[in-house]
Structure 1
Amino acid sequence: MTEILSNIKTIKLYGYESGFKTKVEAFRDKEIILLRKAGLVMSFLSIVFTFFATVGGPNFTPGVMNAQVVFVSLSLFGLLQRPIASMSNVTEATVSLRVSTRRIQKFLLKEELDSSAVLRDPILPEDAKVPVIQIQDATFAWTSEDPSVVAKDDSDDDEEEEVADETTSLLAADRAESSAPTLVDINVFIARGQLAAVVGRVGQGKSSLLSAIIGDMYKRQGSVKVYGSVAYVSQQAWICNATVRDNIVFGKPFDRERYDRVLFASGLLPDLEILAAGDMTEIGERGINLSGGQKQRVSLARAAYQDADVYLMDDPLSAVDAHVDQHLWEHLIGPKGLLKNKTRLLVTHGIHHLEHVDHILVVKDGKITESGHYKHLMAAKNAFHQLIKDFSVSHHKKNGGAAANVVAGTSSPAAGSDEDETGTVVGAQENDKKDGNGEDADGELVKDEEAHSGIVGWDTFKVYCEAM
């Protein structure tokens, strides 16, 4: 049910209602036609079988039809009644079993990600000049198969499953496209303690670069080596059904001093003051009772608490307001933040931060077209200069004429917001607590199920009858 509802939400958000409605109605019309035919055939067969059994049966039966033969035959037919009645269900289950088995087999026989594709050394090199992240002449893709092989395999499988030709061609084309290299000729060298930013337009391969470093993509060629422990912050914050503290500590020994520093740096202290039980407040499934910005900051706090050597952050600042963005930059991610001595690779669209990073990687069409310091890239007036110019114009229009001096080489600080990023959600939680509709005072959302034992009381039967 959850999957169905989430897919309905996706269809509504993308405005695919009319297209899916047409397809569903077409399949439904075919189903109704088949059901009508099946009903007519079954009605006709029941009449034919009854007629021949009554009229023609005695004439074709060898021997004399007497009471002994009739009762013995009825007993045998009675034994066959249950197996014959369940034959349709068994046939349907067998077909489903065959389809499911083929799908499971296809999934289990898929090629595993090569764990040795990324060489990992848990110990930082003694020489501080050795790059902590090293990618040399590498090509990455989301599949390890050749596009032609993928298309052929898909067509074979789809013929067996008798899928519609249009759907088959779309799926085959999609998989063939996904098997093409996403990142080509990648060369990245990030020094220890360096703050590097990955920038580019949407869909150019910025997030894929981080996925390649953590080993989530297939390496077609080249070499990848990472020193030290790695903490990864995805663009979609991952939250588990546990307390805020459990989500941040995440199995590590609890260190109050470091924990408090992380809470302050991630800007969670104002939120914890309003939550029912502070950091012991239980977070619902997938962070249902937190806003997008709160979930992202909990994810950042979890990564910061792990005290890793390398931090890979996939645009975490896009989920927060401008003043929260500035707080996270100053106290957590930036040159003076909590992670100032760590190696940080940050995917970002925040052009106002780029002047303060050590190294910039410009990704375009799956390739790193430019790299270097902000001033050098701006002076070159190539793709990066045009990117900053376009982003500045967009930012200028969005903010109604606010100054954007980034192109000139002086970035203005992020504009603050009169309304707190957490104000809406926090205010709603506060009202819920007043109205009694929110979480309990102890911060628990999930309670243990109560079960009674013994004789069922009359009240239970009364409630049951009233429900009927």
Structure 2
Amino acid sequence: MASETADDRWWYERYITYGFVAPLMARANAGENIELADMFDYPTEHGSDELLAMYDDAKRAGSSTNGALFRVVRFRVALAGALQLVNVAAQAATPVMVRGVLVSIENETFEGLYWVLGIFFGLLLGNWCNQTHLQMMDVATIRLRAVAVRVMFRRMLLMRSHEHRRTAADLVSVIASDTERFKDLAPLFHLLWASPLLVAAATYIVWRFLSWPALIGVAVMGLLFPTTVGLAAAMRRVRETAAPFTTARVRLIAEMLQGIRVVKMYRWERPLTAIIGHHRAGELTQMAKELACASGNNVMAAVAPHIAAVAVFAVYIHYIGPLRASDTFATMSMLTVLKHPMIYFGNALLMFAQAVVAAKRIREVIELGDDRGDGSVRTGVRGSAEVLEAKARRGGDERKLFHEAVLQWSSCEGPASTAEREPIAGTEPTEPALCDYAPFSVGPVTLGARPGAAVCVLGPVGSGKSMLLRAVIGEVAASQGTIGARCDWGTIGYASQEPHLFSGSVRENIILGLPYDRDRFVAACAACQLWEDLASFPAGVRTVVGERGVTLSGGQKARVALARVAYAQSPLVVLDDPFSALDARTGRLVLEALLDPEHGLLRDSVVLYSTHAPQHQWCAGTVVALDLAGRVTVTTNDRLNMPLVLSSPNAPAA
């Protein structure tokens, strides 16, 4: 079923009966497991690639960031608004038709039959329009959130770290929390205009029923508005108060699970359980307050129409005269209709205000950094990466990586503390200890490379090797000189000192979303000396490595990361001391298999790798030597005549 989308089913199944989910519901009711293959695939028009293309087209047309985001959902939002308008008309017309039925009964005519049919079809149409409007707003929210998250991730990946001006926690909060505000607003968005419209229509209709006393009932119902706004604000404050308790509890549980061996060894279960219980108690206290506010809101919703009706009828009887049954029931019906917009209009205003703030924060993230020439990669034109890779792999002119560049960490540009000068124990006011130290810098350096070349960055620990390599991938700024544009290479393969693995199988960690090619996979595993390890794993290449590769040793994680780079075969490869976690023999074999000028898997790529071991420089055509003062010396390496030695055990099935 995964190749079929819900849009491929008949329209009545999608918009009336929702029959397309019946098979899934039947399987779930029977207790069967539902797998991904049983689910419908998402329609192509809702895919992030299509949405990103629409966003980029709008930006090229001169739209603002918010305007380009809204373009992705404007049709569905407008259509949902039209459906909500029909729903408002049906709700306003229902009390009128109820009055017609009662008048027909009083006059003993057959017109009541037509009014009854009108009530039936009016309610049916109104409910269908309301439900379809909610469905369309949900789809619009999914599209809006998808394109916003995609654009923010693209911006983060294309920016240098010193341009972020935000912590990782801030960015995670924007991506995870602020985009959820759109989901909260979606079902209430059209109430911002539909509620006042329905109140105005209801006021006019009830005034036609009962003359001026009808305004008393509308005024009583209007008192619901400030009450619901106050209760909604109180619930929001309660949730904000409960958030620190929830965060502390979840963090403590996660830390306890990660260090469960230490917890069991020292028998810390009871004190940790007591701390978790304390946080949970505070959380439950706030939840009780929130439920009390919600209960108050529900009580107001149930009681207000009756109080309003009593007030209207009392004033009418006192000043005008006896009531007719038709006017009484029609007025009661109309006041009940007003209950929904009066209650939820305040919530809609609060959600709208929160969504505006969230949209501002999202726009700030999207507009971080500059828009300088990253070419088509930054504008999102599909296929550009493949074109750039093809150009990067062609031999010929040397590409400049650095030109008279002086590098320094942006985090070293100021003192580590922002504390004010204050006297301590009668001494002179103190300053942060690091403020007297100049930031560490590397350079100046001028370096170029052509496809098929290997560059070794050699130096002791603390000499700035990682800084130099991270400058190539755009994570370190140049205070002087220039750094080559990273987008010129299309894609960059990168392996850091601390390999990043996710909780998937070994094969998934190596191919990392690329199409699976068995020959390339076998060659990458053989080059990184992985087959002997894979043969000992219970499920071979399908063995799950756990979160962050927790089930693997340090050397195995490093070789999986190197196999990932070897499998990708990017035109530019950056290896930040990947051989430090390997023993001398294994490091030698992996180095030869990857970087040998004639037979290595990365022989067609530009490879920059760092090391503090001089024996690893033999396969590099250029050696960049660094010292502890940040001085750089670039020399040509003539030691390119070492023999290739490979050890490739029989590969198990991949």
Larger deviation, residues 133-142 vs 296-305: 133-142
The answer to whether structure 1 residue 192 and structure 2 residue 455 are counterparts is no
Q: State yes or no: 1:360 paired with 2:623.
A: yes
d(CA) in 2 for partners of 1:246, 1:165: 62
Among 289, 314, 319, the alignment partner of 2:581 is 319
1:355-402: CA deviations, max 9, x gaps?
3321100012464432112359xxxxxxxxxxxxxxxxxxxxxxxxxx
CA RMSD of aligned residues (A): 4.2
Cα distance, 1:142 vs structure 2? 1.8
Residue pairs, 1:429-448, within 5 angstroms: none
Cα drift, residue 352 of structure 1: 2.1
How far 1:118 moved relative to its partner?
Answer: 8.2
CA distance in 1, matches of 2:514, 2:548: 21
Shift of 1:307: 1.9
Does 1:155 find its partner at 2:419? Answer: yes
Following superposition, the deviation at residue 155 of structure 1 comes to 2.5
> One-letter code of the match for 2:464?
G
2:532 is matched with which residue: 248, 251, 270?
Answer: 270
Alignment partner, residue 395 of structure 2: 128
Of 406, 414, 432, the residue aligned with 1:139 is 406
- Judge conservation of contact 2:528–2:563 (CA < 8 Å) in 1: yes
Distance 1:307 1:176, change over 3 A: farther
Task: State the partner residue of 1:254.
Answer: 516
Summarize the Cα distance change of 1:165–1:231 in structure 2 as closer, same or farther, 3 Å threshold. farther
Q: 1:275 to 1:218 in 2, by over 3 A?
A: same
Give 1:162-173 correspondences, 5 Å limit: 172-173=432-433
Percent of residue pairs identical: 29
TM-score, normalised relative to structure 2: 0.37
SS in 1 for 2:618: helix
Deviation at 1:353, TM superposition (A): 3.0
The amino acid across from 1:213 in the alignment is: V
Unaligned runs of 5+ in 1: 8-104, 377-408, 417-468
Match of 1:26 in 2: none
8 Å CA contact 1:230–1:312 kept in 2: the answer is: yes
Encode CA deviations 1:101-156: one digit per residue, 9 max, x unaligned.
Answer: xxxx9xx99x9666859898952359733223421122222227853xx47x7134
Q: 1:198 is paired with a residue of what secondary structure? A: strand
| Distance in 2 between residues matched to 1:410 and 1:339, nearest whole Å | 17
Measure how far apart 1:202 and its partner are: 1.1
Counterpart position of 1:344:
607
Alpha-carbon deviations, 1:305-361, whole Å to 9, x = none? 112001100111111112211220221233231111211111013322323321100
What are the equivalent positions in structure 2 for 1:385-400 lying under 5 Å apart?
none
Amino acid at match of 1:355: W
- 8 Å CA contact 1:135–1:223 kept in 2: the answer is yes
1:236 maps to amino acid: E
The residue aligned with 1:220 is 479
Matched with 1:437 is: none
For the 8 Å contact 2:461–2:612, the answer to whether it is kept is no
Counterpart-to-counterpart distance in 1, 2:541 and 2:470: 31
SS in 2 for 1:154: coil
Report SS of the residue matched to 1:155. Answer: coil
- Quick check: 1:118–1:223 contact (8 Å CA) kept in 2? no
Structure 1 Cα separation of the partners of residues 441 and 392 of structure 2: 30
Please list the CA deviations of residues 11-54 of structure 1 after superposition, one character each: whole Å capped at 9, or x if unmatched: xxxxxxxxxxxxxxxxxxxxxxxxxxxxxxxxxxxxxxxxxxxx
CA distance in 1, matches of 2:561, 2:463: 24
Code of the aligned partner of 1:287: G
- Report the equivalent of 2:496: 234
Structure 1: distance between partners of 2:505 and 2:430: 46
Go from structure 1 to structure 2 and tell me whether the alpha carbon gap of 1:313 and 1:366 turns closer, same or farther (over 3 Å shift).
farther
Choose which of 244, 249, 255 in structure 1 pairs with 2:506: 244
Unaligned runs of 5+ in 2: 1-251, 260-360, 378-383, 648-654
* Change in CA separation of 1:174 and 1:285 when aligned onto 2, cut-off 3 Å: farther
Structure 2 contact 463–627 (Cα < 8 Å) conserved = yes
1:236 Cα deviation from its structure 2 partner? 1.0
Aligned-partner Cα distance in 1 for 2:508–2:516: 10
Contact 2:592 2:644 survives alignment (8 Å): no
Structure 2 CA distance, aligned partners of 1:307 and 1:257? 13
Distance 1:231 1:165, change over 3 A: farther
CA distance in 2, matches of 1:175, 1:269: 51
What is the aligned partner in structure 2 of residue 428 from structure 1? none
CA pair 169-142 structure 1, distance change in 2 beyond 3 A: farther
Paired with 1:320 and 1:164, the residues of 2 have a C-alpha distance of 52
In 1: Cα distance, 2:527 partner to 2:425 partner = 54
Residue type of the alignment partner of 1:132: R
Higher mean displacement: 129-138 or 318-327: 129-138
8 Å contact from structure 1 (residues 115, 215) kept in 2: no
Hey, which of these two has a bigger chunk of helix by percent?
2
Q: Kindly provide the amino acid, as one letter, of the partner of residue 478 in structure 2.
A: K
Q: Which amino acid aligns with 1:189?
A: G
Separation of aligned partners in 2, 1:361 and 1:3: 42
SS at 2:483 equivalent: strand
Mapped to 2, the partners of 1:118 and 1:4 lie a distance apart of: 44
Matched, 1:304 2:566: yes
Distance 1:313 1:187, change over 3 A: same
- The separation in 2 between residues aligned to 1:218 and 1:3, in whole angstroms, is 35
Task: Classify 1:239/1:164 alpha carbon distance in 2 versus 1 (closer, same or farther; 3 Å).
Answer: farther
- Aligned counterparts of 1:311 and 1:128: Cα–Cα separation in 2: 16
Cα offsets for 1:159-195 (capped at 9, x unmatched): 7xx99999x968x334774x72522322221222101
Per the alignment, residue 18 of structure 1 pairs with none
Contact 1:130/1:192, CA 8 A, preserved across alignment: no
Q: SS state of the match for residue 261, structure 1? A: helix
Higher strand share: 1
Structure 1 residues 59-208: aligned runs within 5 Å: 116=372, 123=388, 124=391, 128-143=395-410, 146-147=413-414, 150=415, 154-156=418-420, 172-174=432-434, 177=437, 180-208=439-467
Do 2:469 and 2:576's aligned partners in 1 also have CA atoms closer than 8 Å?
A: yes
Per the alignment, residue 632 of structure 2 pairs with 369
The AA in structure 2 aligned to 1:362 is: A
Q: Which residue of 1 aligns with 2:590?
A: 328
- Aligned residue for 2:395, secondary structure, equals coil
Contact 2:575 2:609 in 1 (8 A): yes
The CA deviation string for residues 401-422 of structure 1, in whole angstroms up to 9 with x for no partner, is xxxxxxxx999999x9xxxxxx
